[in-house]
Amino acid sequence: MPDDQSKVRSFNAILGDRPYILILGTMPGVLSLERGRYYEDPRNCFWRLISDVLEETEPKNYECRINMLKRRHIALWNVLRSCDRSGSLDKDICGEEHNDIASLLDQTPTIRAICFNGRKTAEMYDKDERNQRRENLEYRLLPSSSGKLRKRFHEQRSQEWRALRQLLTENPKPQVDGFELRINVFHITEG
């Protein structure tokens, strides 16, 4: 490991009660790591993009941002548990250790789609042999919310992120242990 790199560690997943979508990043940037908050760098467009997707005003308070995700059934995590990296760029990542996303999916059967925040995230996900693509999940590659791409392609990026609305509006069929749950309701009247 070069002298200018240091070991960085990710955060816990943000899950909420019944997440339908899991949005994955690679590893939080320096400012996010310093503050202990996802997508804290103001140059990163994540909170603007996801607020646009949800057709909500972008919350300024971090707790409100997290509550918005949970309320709208969106989980957030990173592919990497830890890595060696100087700065915030994914291209500088080496010595990575992966989060156990397969176990998270096994424990959270309500998740029906995984969205990758950028191509590098998808590549890192596929490097971990535990992450076999599952037939019951939809996978979407989204343009990175990184500030590096901020001005260029912003409208195109926003349109691709808006496609997440479809995943949130489709009526999910509740499942228990992989089986569709059917609920019959009977109304009993006296008389």
Give catalytic residues, as residue numbers: 44
Q: Are 121 and 24 in contact (CB under 8 A)?
A: yes
Cα 171 to Cα 163: distance, rounded to the nearest angstrom: 15
Which among 81, 75, 104, 77 has a CA at the least distance from the CA of 93? Answer: 81
Whole-Å CA distances, 31 to 7, 9, 35, 121: 15, 13, 6, 19
